[in-house]
Amino acid sequence: MVTVETQAYSRYEIQGRASGILIMTLFGAGWASTADYGPILYVSIAIISLVLIISGVYMLVQARRLPKHTSIEAQKQGRSVAKRFYLVFALEVIAIFIAARSLSMFNHSELIIPVIGLVVGLHFLPLAKLFGIRLYYLSGLLLSLLAILTILAQLVGVTPGTVGTWSSIDGLGNAIILWLTSLYLLATCWHMLSYHNSL
């Protein structure tokens, strides 16, 4: 059973989570596309992405039918959350740019993908508190742990053997984590809508 952390099932919370589904689905597809596992993987990426995108759009449409918050307090809270989200996102982009440029300059391009994964994982931690979604802590920790293990494996010269390159493993692993997080958000959106329909 899905547990939703808040009882204030507002239109904006459902829209926010539905938007999260779309964003993480697209980024998951991007991560998966870095893995070189042949045409079967690309077909799977297309199917998974299509299903999640349709589901996310459906939730956005359903959320728009719910009443709006018109109180000044709710509007201020929404703007505050948006500002902090944009700040976290900006810091993430800056960190990725600096890390990618630095690794390229020092001839460690093989570490760019896992380091980006580490930055993405870390950025989930403040978002967990900001949006009140505790699963983001787990998603962030899993992304970070996978990135750290991939980095360490390459630094000490461990080879992945017949399962592909470390970049492929990290990319596909990141995609799976993001897609599973999207499924969780989809389940919570469904729960919130069901709550409203039962009133």
For 127-170, write each residue's pLDDT tens digit: 999 999 999 999 999 999 999 999 999 888 887 766 568 888 89
In a domain, residue 4? The reply is: no
In a domain, residue 3? The reply is: no
In a domain, residue 115? The reply is: yes
In a domain, residue 118? The reply is: yes
Q: How far apart are CA 135 and CA 32, in angstroms?
A: 21
Of the candidates 111, 105, 93, 130, the one whose C-alpha atom is nearest the C-alpha of residue 16 is 130
Q: How far apart are CA 9 and CA 139, in angstroms?
A: 23
Give the residue carrying structure tokens 């740019």. 97
Of the candidates 147, 127, 35, the one whose C-alpha atom is nearest the C-alpha of residue 82 is 127
- Its domain, for residue 15, covers 11-198
In a domain, residue 1? The reply is: no
Q: How far apart are CA 50 and CA 177, in angstroms?
A: 17
Number of domains in the chain: 1
In a domain, residue 2? The reply is: no
Q: Could you read off the pLDDT of 63-84 as tens digits, one per residue?
A: 888 777 656 776 677 788 889 9
In a domain, residue 5? The reply is: no
In a domain, residue 89? The reply is: yes
Q: Kindly report the pTM of this predicted structure.
A: 0.87
Give the count of beta carbons closer than 10 Å to the beta carbon of residue 34: 17
Tallying the residues shown for the chain, one arrives at 199
